[in-house]
C-alpha cells in the first residue's frame, strides 16, 4: 500500500481521537468553568477586562454583539493597513523593505481581518518582520477568535429559552484567544521548531551553493540569499486558526516552513483540529453531545470521499505522460503519480490530503501548487470551497455555516411531513429561513458575480497565464477562494494588480461579514423562543438519517450552484486530457 494512503488513515484516527478532549475543554472555557488553565490565566483575563473597561457579567443582545464585532474587526483591518503603509519607517525591518502599495495593502488588510489570508505577494520580499508579527500574526489570532465567538453565541441562542442576550463578545473573543489559541499555538510552534522550522530575527543568510550556476546574464553565481525570520510562531496560528497565510511566498511547500514529513503531519492535523473539536463543544453547550457527533459525522461523510477522489486523481498521474512512456507508478524509487508542483518529500497522496483539508477548513495554506493538479484533482479543493466552507470550515465559521444548513434540513423535512420545522425544541420560522437564505446565497453571488466580471473585462483576462478552460479555472478558483474566505490559489493567476486587489478585497469583506450578521440575527431570534415539546412528527437531529439529509442538502446546493461553472473549467480540461492525441 502506498504510504500516502496509510497517512490518510492515521490522520483520520488522530483527528477524531484529539477532537473529543479538546472539544470538552473548550466547552468548559466558554461556560466559565474550571478548565485547568484558569488558575494561571484567570488573573490575566480579569486584568484585561479591568484595563479595557469590559464588564464580563453584562451580556449583549444580538445587535450589540454584532456592532461590537464589526467595530473590533474594522479597527484591526485599519491597523494592518497602516502598518503596511508605514513599514519602511518602522523598526524590525532588517531588509529595508519599502512601504506596501495602497491597493495591495488594502487587499492584505481585508484578507487577514476576514480570516481569509489571501496573499498576492511573497512575504519574505514584501513585508517586514514587524508587519508579519504585529499585523498579520495578531490578526491570525483575532480573526479566528471572532469566528469562534460567533459560533458560541449561536450555540447559546439554540440552548437558551425566552432570552434576550447571547453572551458578551469581548468575553468570548478574549477566552478564545487566551485559553485556546495561545496555548495550542505555543505547543505547536515548539514542535515545529524541533523539526527545523525557522524562528529568528536575523536578516537573510548568505549561503554557498553546493554547485555554482549561471544567471540570466551569463555570470557565475556561487551564493544564495536564504530568507529567515520569526516563521514558526506565525505558522502555528496560521494552521490552528484556519488562517493559512504563509510566512514565505510558497507557503507550506517551503523547506523552512514545513521541512519534514512529521512537521507536515502536525500541520495538517492542526488545520482541522479546532473545527472538528468545536462540533463536540457545540454538543456540550446545547446539553446534547449527540448533536455534536452528528455534525462531525456530516463533515466526515463529505470530506472522506473527496480526499479519496483527489488522492486517486493525483496518484493515477497524467495519461498523456503515460502514453509517452513515462513511469508514474509508485515504487521503491518514487512515490508515483502526478508530481508536477509537488514536494518529493511529501508525494502525491499526502499533497492531495493537504489540499483537501486546507480547502475543507477555510485554511488556504498549501504544500503543493494546486495549479499543477490534474483537472479532477484540482476540482476537489475548488468544489470544497464552493460548498460554502461548511465541511469543517474556518474555526467557528465552518460549524455555524453547517448549522445554518441544518436549519434548512429541518425546514425541508418539516414541509415533507406537514409539521412546523423544529431544531432542538425551537420552531424554525420565516425569519430564521430568511437569514439562512442570506448566509447560503451570499457566497455564490459574490463568487459567480466576481468571476463573471473578471472574465468579461480586459483587466480580469490580462492576468490569466493559461488560455482556455484552465485559465477559466484559475479565475473561478480565485473568486471561490476569496468568496468563501479560504485564501488558497491556483497560483497561475497574476493577481497583484489594482483590478484583482480591489475586486478580491471587496469579495472577501462581503463573504465574511454579510454572513456573520445574519447568523447572529438568527441566534438572537432562536434565543427568544420557547421550548416546543417533541412530537411524533419531530425530526431527530442526531440520527444517521439527519446526517445523510444534511450532507445531501449541502452537496445539492453546491451542485446546483456551481456545476455549470465547473463544467466550463476542470471538467472540460479533464476531457481534453483523456482524449486520444
217 lies in a domain?
A: no
Over residues 215-226, mean pLDDT: 87
214 lies in a domain?
A: no
DSSP summary character for residue 420: -
Number of structural domains found in the chain:
1
| pLDDT (tens digit per residue) in 542-563 | 999 999 999 999 999 888 899 9
d(CA 45, CA 49): 6
d(CA 524, CA 62): 5
CB 151 within 8 A of CB 275: no
More confident site: 227 or 236: 236
Residue 217, pLDDT score:
84
CB 141 within 8 A of CB 406: no
218 lies in a domain?
A: no
How many Cα atoms sit within 13 Å of 355 on the Cβ side?
35
Please choose, from the candidates 468, 479, 501, the residue with its C-alpha nearest in 3D space to the C-alpha of residue 574.
468
216 lies in a domain?
A: no
CB 149 within 8 A of CB 400: no
Residue 227, pLDDT score:
86
CA 476 to chain centre: 17
| Model confidence at 264: pLDDT above 90 | yes
d(CA 27, CA 365): 28
Quick one: which H or E segment has residue 555? Answer: helix 544-566
| pLDDT (tens digit per residue) in 136-152 | 999 999 999 999 999 99
Residue 537, pLDDT score:
72
CB 120 within 8 A of CB 245: no
SS3 339: coil
79 lies in a domain?
A: yes
219 lies in a domain?
A: no
Averaged pLDDT score across all residues of the chain: 93
- The neighbouring-strand residues paired with 181 are none
Residues 6+ away with beta carbon under 8 Å from 217? none
More confident site: 202 or 85: 85
What helix, strand, coil percent values describe the chain, rounded to 5?
65, 5, 30
Over residues 159-183, mean pLDDT: 97
297 lies in a domain?
A: yes
- The neighbouring-strand residues paired with 464 are 493
Residue 309, pLDDT score:
96
Grid cell for residue 319: 495519461
C-beta atoms surrounding 458 within 10 Å: 7
| Model confidence at 581: pLDDT above 70 | no
**For the chain, what percent of residues have pLDDT higher than 90?**
78
| pLDDT (tens digit per residue) in 558-580 | 888 999 999 999 999 999 888 75
| Model confidence at 98: pLDDT above 70 | yes
- The pTM of the full predicted model, rounded to 2 decimals, is 0.94
State the pLDDT confidence band at 414, using cuts at 50, 70 and 90: confident
The three-state (H, E, C) secondary structure of 425-479, written as one string = CEECCHHHHHHHHHHHHHHHHHHHHHHHHHHHCHHHHHCECCCCHHHHHHHHHHH
CB 358 within 8 A of CB 488: yes
Residue 334, pLDDT score:
76
160 lies in a domain?
A: yes
Boundaries of domain holding 245: 3-209+225-578
Residue 156, pLDDT score:
97
Amino acid at each position: 500500500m502506498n504510504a500516502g494512503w496509510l497517512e490518510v488513515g492515521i490522520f483520520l484516527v488522530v483527528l477524531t481521537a484529539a477532537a473529543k478532549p479538546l472539544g470538552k475543554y473548550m466547552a468548559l472555557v466558554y461556560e466559565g468553568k474550571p478548565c485547568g488553565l484558569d488558575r494561571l490565566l484567570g488573573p490575566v483575563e480579569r486584568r484585561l477586562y479591568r484595563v479595557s473597561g469590559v464588564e464580563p457579567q453584562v451580556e449583549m443582545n444580538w445587535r450589540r454583539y454584532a456592532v461590537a464585532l464589526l467595530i473590533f474587526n474594522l479597527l484591526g483591518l485599519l491597523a494592518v493597513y497602516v502598518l503596511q503603509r508605514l513599514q519602511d519607517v518602522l523598526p524590525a525591518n532588517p531588509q529595508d523593505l519599502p512601504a506596501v502599495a495602497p491597493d495591495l495593502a488594502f487587499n492584505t488588510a481585508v484578507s487577514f481581518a476576514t480570516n481569509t489570508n489571501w496573499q498576492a505577494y511573497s512575504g519574505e520580499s514584501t513585508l517586514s518582520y514587524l508587519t508579519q508579527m504585529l499585523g498579520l500574526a495578531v490578526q491570525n489570532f483575532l480573526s479566528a477568535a471572532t469566528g469562534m465567538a460567533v459560533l458560541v453565541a449561536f450555540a447559546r441562542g439554540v440552548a437558551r429559552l425566552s432570552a434576550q442576550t447571547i453572551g458578551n463578545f469581548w468575553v468570548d473573543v478574549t477566552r478564545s484567544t487566551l485559553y485556546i489559541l495561545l496555548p495550542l499555538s505555543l505547543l505547536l510552534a515548539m514542535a515545529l521548531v524541533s523539526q527545523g522550522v525557522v524562528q529568528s530575527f536575523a536578516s537573510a543568510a548568505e549561503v554557498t551553493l553546493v554547485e555554482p550556476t549561471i544567471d540570466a546574464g551569463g555570470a557565475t553565481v556561487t551564493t544564495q540569499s536564504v530568507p529567515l525570520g520569526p516563521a514558526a510562531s506565525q505558522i502555528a496560528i496560521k494552521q490552528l486558526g484556519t488562517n493559512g497565510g504563509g510566512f514565505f511566498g510558497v507557503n507550506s511547500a517551503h523547506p523552512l516552513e514545513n521541512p519534514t514529513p512529521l512537521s507536515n503531519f502536525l500541520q495538517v492535523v492542526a488545520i482541522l483540529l479546532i473545527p472538528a473539536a468545536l462540533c463536540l463543544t457545540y454538543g456540550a453547550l446545547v446539553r446534547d453531545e449527540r448533536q455534536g457527533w452528528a455534525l462531525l459525522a456530516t463533515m466526515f461523510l463529505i470530506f472522506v470521499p473527496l480526499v479519496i477522489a483527489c488522492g486517486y486523481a493525483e496518484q493515477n498521474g497524467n495519461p498523456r505522460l503515460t502514453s509517452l512512456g513515462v513511469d508514474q507508478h509508485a515504487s521503491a524509487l518514487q512515490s508515483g503519480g502526478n508530481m508536477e508542483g509537488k514536494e518529493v518529500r511529501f508525494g502525491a497522496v499526502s499533497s492531495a490530503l493537504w489540499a483537501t483539508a486546507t480547502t475543507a477548513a477555510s485554511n488556504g495554506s498549501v504544500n503543493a501548487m494546486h495549479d499543477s493538479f490534474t483537472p479532477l484533482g484540482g476540482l476537489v479543493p475548488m468544489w470544497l470551497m464552493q460548498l460554502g466552507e461548511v465541511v469543517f470550515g474556518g474555526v467557528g465559521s465552518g460549524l455555524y455555516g453547517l448549522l445554518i444548513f441544518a436549519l434548512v434540513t429541518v425546514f425541508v423535512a418539516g414541509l415533507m411531513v406537514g409539521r412546523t420545522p423544529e431544531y432542538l425544541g425551537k420552531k424554525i420560522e420565516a425569519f430564521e429561513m430568511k437569514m439562512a437564505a442570506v448566509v447560503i446565497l451570499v457566497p455564490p453571488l459574490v463568487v459567480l458575480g466576481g468571476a463573471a466580471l473578471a472574465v468579461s473585462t480586459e483587466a480580469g483576462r490580462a492576468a490569466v497565464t493559461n488560455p482556455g478552460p484552465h485559465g477559466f479555472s484559475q479565475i473561478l478558483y480565485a473568486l471561490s477562494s476569496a468568496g468563501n474566505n479560504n485564501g488558497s490559489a491556483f497560483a497561475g493567476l497574476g493577481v497583484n494588480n489594482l483590478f484583482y486587489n480591489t475586486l478580491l478585497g471587496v469579495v472577501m469583506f462581503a463573504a465574511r461579514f454579510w454572513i456573520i450578521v445574519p447568523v447572529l440575527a438568527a441566534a438572537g431570534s432562536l434565543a427568544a423562543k420557547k421550548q416546543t415539546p417533541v412530537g411524533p412528527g419531530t425530526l431527530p437531529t442526531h440520527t444517521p438519517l439527519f446526517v445523510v439529509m444534511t450532507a445531501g442538502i449541502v452537496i445539492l446546493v453546491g451542485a446546483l450552484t456551481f456545476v455549470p461553472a465547473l463544467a466550463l473549467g476542470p471538467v472540460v480540461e479533464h476531457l481534453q486530457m483523456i482524449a486520444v492525441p
